[in-house]
């Protein structure tokens, strides 16, 4: 889905649907959800009445143009919302194509008799069999078997994933396809409430609810609208008292230009586009509230393994014992690891090759027998036909092995072991019979670029906390190398939950990632809980976001999108309110210049006539909504700056820009109207 190339901001294929939706959204029931635009629509209706013989006619051409541009203002605002929704609806249509009423092989009764039923009839707790080439009929958990599954219909990722019974990779999604083997799945969702159903509802906006910030801004805009409504209504009595008159059409034009129509017309589109941007990163947000809250997050909890580190310990250094060269140690370490298929064993072979140019050899060529690692011996290695024994393993285990063959464990090696452990690494000692050859350092390798990412988060005002089950020494070492602000060592699920509650009690907003059932309580408690799609059903239900790529570090991008959403809303609100200042100088002199010629001094733009001034302001008021649609959908550019710098930047670009743009735009439109003899 979102792994595919991102569609253009304004996809021509979506514009036709959006244009049609713009007219459908004119229904008062829909418009009432947006107080500002509802007033604009009511004003447009009122201004239209004289044109259909229900009022006095004066300057028909002027009135007609004003009315048309008033309706255009409403339609442009609806169009902005429809374009934002359109991309989600297109994604929903694509997802619906993956939904088929497949036939499921349900296991019935204690004898588990197989019967074929419609997938839509499956209920929670039913057991179904799925084999290679078949679609999984519903969301569930693998209770028997292991299989590779194609989840590209959901994630857009073509590479298959492994799903198996037990552990944290047992969850499967309805509509995905089994590519190999046979599994038994226990259905965990009722018909109509599957993960795919929820995705469709969310991406097409059917369940979108206004966020708290959006509601607060709506109230502010409604308040400003009421103030300007009362102010506009009082102007006609003043005009009549002064011996003049102001037509209802002109009063409506004044009202529409003075109320914050720009942000009012774009507010809904900004919120929808924010959720769309999250989705385009393959993250499914369960609500707009979650996306918005991510912008206010100031504490970020991240697992160490697989998130900050690569997830497997890697050999990073060879420390030879006295009297042994580093190349000799490398040869022995490589020999002892030839048949070791663990990530640690393979990394030792790679290190020997990269540092000393030692190429891999075959066991049959060495005439040796591989001794695997066991929990009892805590060593692995080779036994040669001549009786030679090479081992690598834990220091105390190798110490016992060497002493058993009449050798001794050098103090220098013992000090190396202690130092490596103290620095958070894992020491492996290598022995050739009764002789200790040296030590291999295994470390959790921090992913490339993590320090830079954490520096970026720090600049955003977010404190990062690493969660690990490691001991405090190891945790401190990794935290220092990665550049995180704090760490929680030897963490249990209860510790995570307690830590989140403590931070929230201090007034912080907390985000975290998780994939296991044991993470569910913490995911539910966190303000932003991002569950991995490969995780358990419990984790996905507990969180308010699901990462379809199962990449824990993606939470960083989500936080940036949330901040971008808040900044976009703030920037366009600033621009909209600043916009109105220029309109005062355009319309107010035009209203009363006949009665009070002194007001001509306020006509700083030197607009041609009162009619052209009013019409130019109305036209600009409508067109600026269209001009800002790409910015509302894309979001303002975000850089991790302090709150003070962001405010200054916002005021400089969008505050000052909001003051200057209308003066330039209204004057240009005035010149064009006069040239075309439209005013």
Q: Of 631, 595, 634, 591, nearest to 613 (Cα)? A: 591
Positive or negative, the Cα torsion across 44, 47, 53, 58?
negative
Interatomic CA distance for residues 355 and 320, integer angstroms: 14
What angle do the packed helices 656-675 and 610-634 form, to 10 degrees? Answer: 130
Interatomic CA distance for residues 73 and 262, integer angstroms: 9
Interatomic CA distance for residues 396 and 427, integer angstroms: 11
Interatomic CA distance for residues 413 and 633, integer angstroms: 61
Interatomic CA distance for residues 481 and 604, integer angstroms: 61
- The 3-state secondary structure of 58-119 reads CCHHHHHHHHHHHHHHHHHHHHHHHHHHHHHHHHHHHHHHHCCCCEEEEEECCCCEEEEEEH
Q: Of 184, 177, 182, nearest to 125 (Cα)? A: 184
Within 8 A by CB and 6+ apart from 468, the residues are 303, 304, 305, 474, 475, 478, 487, 488, 489, 490, 491
Q: How far is CA 401 from the centre of its chain?
A: 53
Interatomic CA distance for residues 567 and 645, integer angstroms: 12
Please answer whether residues 330 and 349 qualify as being in contact, where contact means their C-beta atoms are separated by less than 8 angstroms. no
Q: Which two tokens stand for residue 577?
A: 């309110």
Interatomic CA distance for residues 629 and 333, integer angstroms: 62
Interatomic CA distance for residues 465 and 513, integer angstroms: 12
Q: How far is CA 257 from the centre of its chain?
A: 36
Transcribe 396-432 into DSSP letters: HHHHHHHHHTT-B--HHHHHHHHHHHHTT-EEEEEEE
In DSSP terms, 370 is beta-bridged to 382
State the catalytic residues: 303
Interatomic CA distance for residues 134 and 373, integer angstroms: 39
């Amino acid at each position: 889905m979102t792994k595919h190339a991102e569609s253009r901001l304004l996809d021509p294929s979506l514009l036709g649907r959006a244009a049609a939706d713009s007219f459908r959204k004119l229904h008062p029931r829909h418009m009432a959800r947006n107080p500002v635009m509802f007033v604009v629509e009511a004003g447009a209706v009122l201004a239209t009445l004289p044109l259909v013989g229900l009022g006095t006619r004066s300057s028909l051409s002027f009135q007609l143009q004003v009315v048309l541009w008033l309706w255009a203002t409403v339609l442009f605002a609806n169009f902005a919302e429809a374009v934002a929704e359109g991309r989600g609806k297109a994604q929903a249509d694509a997802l619906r194509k993956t939904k088929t009423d497949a036939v499921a092989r349900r296991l019935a009764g204690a004898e588990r008799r197989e019967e074929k039923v419609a997938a839509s009839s499956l209920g929670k707790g039913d057991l179904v069999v799925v084999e290679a080439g078949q679609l999984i009929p519903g969301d569930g958990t693998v209770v028997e078997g292991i299989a590779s599954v194609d989840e590209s219909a959901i994630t857009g990722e073509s590479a298959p994933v492994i799903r198996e019974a037990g552990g944290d990779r047992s969850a499967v999604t309805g509509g995905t396809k089994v590519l190999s083997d046979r599994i038994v799945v226990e259905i965990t969702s009722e018909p109509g409430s599957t993960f795919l159903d929820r995705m469709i509802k969310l991406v097409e906006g059917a369940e979108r609810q206004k966020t708290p910030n959006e509601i607060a801004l709506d109230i502010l805009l409604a308040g400003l609208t009421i103030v300007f409504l009362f102010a506009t209504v009082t102007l006609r009595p003043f005009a009549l008292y002064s011996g003049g008159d102001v037509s209802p059409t002109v009063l409506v034009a004044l009202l529409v230009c003075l109320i914050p129509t720009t942000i009012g017309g774009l507010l809904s589109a900004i919120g929808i586009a924010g959720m769309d941007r999250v989705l385009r990163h393959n993250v499914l947000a369960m609500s707009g509230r979650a996306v918005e809250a991510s912008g206010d997050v100031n504490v970020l909890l991240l697992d160490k393994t697989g998130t900050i580190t690569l997830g497997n310990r890697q050999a990073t250094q060879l420390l030879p014992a006295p009297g042994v060269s580093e190349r000799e140690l490398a040869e022995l370490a490589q020999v002892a690891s030839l048949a070791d298929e663990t990530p640690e064993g393979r990394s030792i072979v790679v290190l020997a090759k990269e540092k000393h140019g030692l190429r891999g050899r075959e066991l049959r060529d060495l005439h040796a027998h591989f001794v695997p690692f066991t929990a009892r011996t805590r060593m692995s290695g080779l036994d040669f036909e001549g009786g030679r024994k090479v081992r690598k393993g834990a220091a105390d285990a190798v110490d016992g092995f060497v002493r058993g063959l009449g050798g001794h464990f050098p103090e220098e090696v013992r000090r190396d072991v202690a130092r490596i452990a103290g620095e958070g690494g894992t020491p492996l000692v290598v022995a050739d019979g009764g002789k200790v050859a040296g030590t291999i350092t295994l470390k959790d390798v921090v992913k490339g670029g993590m320090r830079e990412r954490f520096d970026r988060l720090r600049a955003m005002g977010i404190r990062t906390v690493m969660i690990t089950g490691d001991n405090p020494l190891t945790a401190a070492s990794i935290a220092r190398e990665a550049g995180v602000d704090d760490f929680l060592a030897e963490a249990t699920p209860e510790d995570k939950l307690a830590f989140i509650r403590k931070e929230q009690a201090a007034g912080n907003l907390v985000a975290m990632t998780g994939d296991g059932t044991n993470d569910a309580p913490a995911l539910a408690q966190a303000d932003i809980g991002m569950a991995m799609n490969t995780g358990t059903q419990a984790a996905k239900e507990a969180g308010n976001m699901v990462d379809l790529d199962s990449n824990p570090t993606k939470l960083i991008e989500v936080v940036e999108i949330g901040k971008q959403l808040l900044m976009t809303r703030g920037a366009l609100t600033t621009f909209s309110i600043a916009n109105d200042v220029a309109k005062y100088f355009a319309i107010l002199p035009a209203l009363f210049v006949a009665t009070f010629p002194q007001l001509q001094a306020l006509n700083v733009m030197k607009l041609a006539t009162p009619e052209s001034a009013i019409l130019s302001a109305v036209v600009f008021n409508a067109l600026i909504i269209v001009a800002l649609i790409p910015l509302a959908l894309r979001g303002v550019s975000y850089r991790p700056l302090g709150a003070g710098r962001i405010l200054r930047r916002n005021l400089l670009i969008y505050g000052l820009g909001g003051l200057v743009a209308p003066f330039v735009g209204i004057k240009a439109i005035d010149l064009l109207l006069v040239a075309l003899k439209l005013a």
